[in-house]
Amino acid sequence: MTGPPDEFDWIDRIRGLTLDDPRALGLRDDAAVLPARQGFDLVISVDAMVEGVHFLPGEHPGTIARRLLRTSLSDLAAKAARPFGYFLTTAWPADRPWAYRDAFIEGLNEDGVLFGVALLGGDTVATPGPLTLSATVLGWAEAGRSVLRNGARADDLVVVCGAIGDGWLGLLAAKGAISDPSDELASHYRTPKPLLTLRNALLAHAHAAIDVSDGFLADLTHLAKASGCVARVRLEELPLSLAAAAWCAAQENEQAARLSLATGGDDYALICAVPPAAFDAFRLACLESGTPVVALGAFSTPKADGKWVEASFRGGPVEDVQGGWRH
């Protein structure tokens, strides 16, 4: 192994701690699925955020709280689970007074009510380091029907629900690096929308799904590898918001611009594997909740070259598709 270990190296090292318990899904998914209540599985996902890494220093504490909860709920959205509660861990620096913490609570309450999720417990500690937070979210899914990463099949379509690139551009906008007159991009980065309303569409039509947190190409790689399929995608068909399309059109190299959007992360769109015969019904079901859907490629059986994702742009191959966020 060369270079410093990252999050995926760490996951590989600790995979044996699952004792091969099937409920852990081999640590190859964003959640664990536990039989818990008659007819239902309990779906659990854990996410952590560190100030200066996952949110900018100086952000409003209410916004930080909402970002924590929303990004965590996005994992349940990809599983087609209905969230109901969460556990919260906070590691507070000494310089955060009660007014700051109360504003954090207000943000949690706002989105807790909005998404119908209750705080069920947790822990709080002090830290000499940056503000560090963790949310463990819980949801119900019909028994055996969670939509996992490993279900894609050859000939399924690679489908994106939502837009790609707004998260990365939103971070740039929040830093003041690009213009964002309507605050649309920065708002998407700060308080993304978990696509929980797509639950029925996923259950009815999707073989596999994952949310886009590390970047479209990186998360597509996770899904393809878990499913044992190669994903081939056309970057010119990457779904973009009006703001992202305008930014892209202003760049000198459109291919490089789209590759940046495809690797930036923090979009919280969903990538799904949908059989071709079900695509029209899936698209219409998603549109009912106001979520646009684009099919921009397909899955196929793997080759011997070890590549899980192959990207093209206007008919030509795109060689560097390994980008994405890694800790």
Max distance between CA atoms of the chain, in angstroms, equals 58
**Distance between CA atoms of 51 and 150, rounded to whole angstroms?**
32
pLDDT at position 322: 66
Confidence at residue 312, expressed as pLDDT on a 0 to 100 scale: 96
pLDDT value of position 178: 95
Backbone angles phi, psi at 260, to 5 degrees: -60, -45
What is the structure's pLDDT at 6? 65
Give pLDDT, residue 163.
97
Write out the H or E segment, with its range, that includes residue 16: none
pTM, to two decimals? 0.90
Domain ranges for the chain, please list them. 31-142, 149-318
CATH superfamily name and code, 149-318: PurM-like C-terminal domain (3.90.650.10)
Region 31-142: CATH code: 3.30.1330.10
Q: Going residue by residue through the chain (327 aa), what tens digit of pLDDT does each one get?
A: 456 666 677 677 767 767 787 877 887 876 777 777 899 999 999 999 999 999 999 999 999 999 999 999 999 999 999 999 888 899 999 899 999 999 999 999 899 999 999 888 888 888 999 999 999 999 999 999 999 999 999 999 999 999 999 999 999 999 999 999 999 999 999 999 999 999 999 999 999 999 999 999 999 999 999 999 999 999 999 999 999 999 999 999 999 999 999 999 999 999 999 999 999 999 999 999 999 999 999 999 987 677 899 999 999 999 876 666 555
pLDDT at 3: 61
Residue 309 and residue 152: Cα distance in Å, rounded? 13
pLDDT given for residue 172 in this prediction: 97
- Position 12 scores a pLDDT of 78
Sign (positive/negative) of CA torsion 315, 317, 320, 326?
positive
Is residue 259 packed enough to be buried (19+ CB in 10 Å), middle (13-18) or exposed (0-12)? buried
User: What is d(CA 225, CA 307) in angstroms, rounded to the nearest whole number?
Assistant: 9
The predicted pLDDT at position 16 comes to 75
Per-residue model confidence (pLDDT) at position 248: 95
Question: Residue 180: which residues within 8 A CB-CB, separation 6 or more?
Answer: 169, 170, 173, 186, 243
